[in-house]
Each structure stands twice: as C-alpha cells, then as structure tokens.
C-alpha cells in the first residue's frame, strides 16, 4: 500500500536483502533473510515508550487464526474480511512494542485489513511512525531479530519496508516505517478512517478490488498500481 509522498532515503547499504525505490508494495524481493546489525549502535535512548526493547531471541506469539493471513508473493487474492485480522494486528503491535517501542512514536493498523467489512488481500499492513528518518537504521536489528526481512526504502511507495513471511514466499505482514511528518503517515490513517466511516465508498472500493483481482491475478505490482489512482482520488475528495 502506498500513500502520498515521502522524504525517506536509502539508509542501509544495498545488498541481497534490500531493494531500491520502486512502485507497488510487494515488488520482487529476494528471499534471503537480512543479517542483523550488532553493537552499541543498535541501542538508543527511549523516545516515547518507557520499556526497553528485548533484543534477545524471541518466541513467536501463538496466535489463533494465523491461517487467516498469508498470500503467495507476487499473486493477488481478495478475500472476505475476517474479524481475526484485528486481533492478529493487536498481538503483532504488542510484540513490536517489545522490540522497537523505545524507538518509535506510533504503530497503526492500516490498509484494507484494518477496515471492518472490507474485502482485502490477507496481508496485514502496519504503519510505524518515527521522529526522523535517522531513527530507521536503529529499527533494523530488532525487527530482523523478530523475524522481519529488510526490503529497503520504497520512498513514496510505502516508506522503508520490512516484511514477514509465514513460509517460503508466503507473505503475511508489510511494515512501513515513515517519519511522523511524512505525508504518507497522515494519508495511511486518513484513507483507513474514510473507508471505515463511509459504507457506500467502502462497497465501491471493494468492487474495484474484486475487478482488479481478475485482471492482475499473477501481477501484484500491476494490481497495486491500478488501485493507486482510486486512492489518490478518494484522498483528494476528502481534503480537510
């Protein structure tokens, strides 16, 4: 999911685990797991949350209904909304607070899985706000230790992207880190809230996604690009 414009830049040296700025959320990413950084530069004083991140090896939370998320990378399948998506996000949010809470300002459930009643691809989109793009490299080690893969800076197409897979090539989470003053942050929340509040618009958007799914079944980038004009139009119509 991509929103607005961004001022993020590539903050990690390119390698097999990173991808440059590109259109679309999923992209075509290598499947190798990023190597976490070590050393004192991985730890910084707290910005907001009082607890410290736990950087030791963590046990993945046991989540009922985890099979309600997950989609083969690069493909498109729009499914009926499932109420477990909210619970899955809340458990992931608590785990993220454990690992990077001392670095971030806010963690929000965004995208279609955050809108009750809206058909969606079964992948959780999570937006994370930081005080400055300079904080992003410090998030890399704890996120990779928690099981996320570093996909690099997508700029205005999703901020700095981390992803999580449940199996080889089965994507379950997209995590977008942006500065709190980046327009993308406000657009993520505004678009979600507009759809939550407007049933007619929500139905129209679901119909569009179902139609695009038939056209781009094996092309997630094409699907994402085709939705983007609709998203921009909705945001323009609801300027405050």
Q: Please, are residues 126 and 142 in contact by the beta-carbon 8 Å criterion?
A: no
Cα–Cα separations (whole angstroms), residue 130 to 49, 137, 187, 195, 228: 12, 11, 15, 25, 24
Collect the ranges in the chain with pLDDT lower than 70: 1-67, 240
Of 125, 222, 225, the C-alpha closest to 178 is: 125
160 DSSP 8-state letter: E
- Pairing relationship of beta strands 170-179 and 124-130 according to DSSP bridges: parallel
- For residue 185, the model assigns a pLDDT of 97
79-104: pLDDT as tens digits: 999 999 999 999 999 999 999 999 99
- For residue 102, the model assigns a pLDDT of 97
Question: Encoding tokens for residue 42?
Answer: 């991985």
Q: Residue 26 half-sphere exposure, CB side, CA atoms within 13 Å?
A: 25
Grouping H, G, I as helix, E, B as strand and the rest as coil, residue 44 is coil
- For residue 131, the model assigns a pLDDT of 98
Strand partners of residue 147: none
CA distance 43 to 208: 44
Domains in the chain: ranges and CATH:
40-237 (3.30.460.10)
Q: Please, are residues 127 and 108 in contact by the beta-carbon 8 Å criterion?
A: yes
Q: Please, are residues 158 and 111 in contact by the beta-carbon 8 Å criterion?
A: no
CA distance 215 to 93: 33
Strand partners of residue 133: none
CA distance 209 to 25: 15
- For residue 140, the model assigns a pLDDT of 97
- For residue 36, the model assigns a pLDDT of 43
- For residue 80, the model assigns a pLDDT of 95
Q: Please, are residues 71 and 167 in contact by the beta-carbon 8 Å criterion?
A: no
> For residue 235, what are the contacts with CB-CB under 8 A and spacing of at least 6?
3, 4, 187, 190, 191, 194
- For residue 240, the model assigns a pLDDT of 59
């Amino acid at each position: 999911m991509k929103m607005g414009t961004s001022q993020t830049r590539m903050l990690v040296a390119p390698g097999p685990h990173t991808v440059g700025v590109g259109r679309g959320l999923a992209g075509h990413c290598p499947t190798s797991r990023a190597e976490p950084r070590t050393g004192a530069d991985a730890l910084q004083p707290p910005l907001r949350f009082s607890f410290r991140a736990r950087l030791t090896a963590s046990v993945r939370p046991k989540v009922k209904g985890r099979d309600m998320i997950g989609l083969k990378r690069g493909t498109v399948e729009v499914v009926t909304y499932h109420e477990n998506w909210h619970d899955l996000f809340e458990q992931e949010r608590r785990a993220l607070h454990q690992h990077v809470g001392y670095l971030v300002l806010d963690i929000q459930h965004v995208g279609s899985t955050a809108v009750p009643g809206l058909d969606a691809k079964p992948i959780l989109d999570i937006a994370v706000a930081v005080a400055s793009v300079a904080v992003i490299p410090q998030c890399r080690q704890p996120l990779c230790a928690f099981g996320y893969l570093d996909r690099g800076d997508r700029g205005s197409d999703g901020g700095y992207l981390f992803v999580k897979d449940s199996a080889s090539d089965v994507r379950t989470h997209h995590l977008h880190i942006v500065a709190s003053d980046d327009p993308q942050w406000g657009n993520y929340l505004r678009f979600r809230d507009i759809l939550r509040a407007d049933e007619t618009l929500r139905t129209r958007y679901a119909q569009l996604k179902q139609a695009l799914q038939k056209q781009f079944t094996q092309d997630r980038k094409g699907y994402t690009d085709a939705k983007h004009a609709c998203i921009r139009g909705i945001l323009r119509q609801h300027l405050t």
